[in-house]
Amino acid sequence: MTTKQRLLQICNEHVDKRINDYKEEINLIKESIASNDKGNSEDDDSGNGKLLNDLEKNMGYLADANKTKEYLKLIKTNVEPVDVVLGSIVKTNEMNFYIATSIGKIDLDSDVYFAISLNTPIGQLLKNKKVNDSFEFNQKKYVIQEII
């Protein structure tokens, strides 16, 4: 398995875990709402208000995680682009980036990669850059040495 394939797999596993966690949380909230409905008098709705808000929030998070999962399906691991695009590994003089979704630091073999989205501030700076292009982020200058 190539480094790109392994990084994509790690990102997918991270998103899958988030999806499962949100589904579990949603089920727990639904169970709590159901048990509150059985145990409360008809006029006492105060406990369910917060639960319904939590349910709505988690359903939104789940929808976002599912969108991220679909977004990751767009990554082609067998392509070596000339410029930085979704799925690129970008090696700079300072650090390595994997352009996919924002999950942060990934230790892989003896290298460290930072998985970021193209929508992040640094992702926007990297977008469409080529080898030897440079950019500045947080008063630090980065020079792209390799795009895989």
Residue 40: predicted pLDDT: 55
What would the mean pLDDT of 44-65 be, rounded to a whole number? 88
Residue 41: predicted pLDDT: 52
pLDDT tens profile 67-102: 999 999 999 999 888 999 999 999 999 999 999 999
Burial class of residue 15, CB neighbours in 10 A (0-12, 13-18, 19+):
buried
Instruction: Reduce the secondary structure of 1-69 to three states and give it as a string.
Output: CCHHHHHHHHHHHHHHHHHHHHHHHHHHHHHHHHHHHHHCCCCCCHHHHHHHHHHHHHHHHHHHHHHHH
Q: Look up residue 71 and give its DSSP letter.
A: H
Burial class of residue 71, CB neighbours in 10 A (0-12, 13-18, 19+):
middle
Per-residue pLDDT band for 35 (boundaries 50, 70, 90) equals: confident
User: Measured at the alpha carbon of residue 89, what is the angle toward residues 88 and 92, in degrees to the nearest 5?
Assistant: 125
Residues 6+ positions from 15 with CB-CB distance below 8 Å = 65, 68, 69, 72, 101
Residue 3: predicted pLDDT: 95
CA distance 90 to 61: 29
Name the token pair of 25. Answer: 């949380």
Q: Look up residue 94 and give its DSSP letter.
A: S
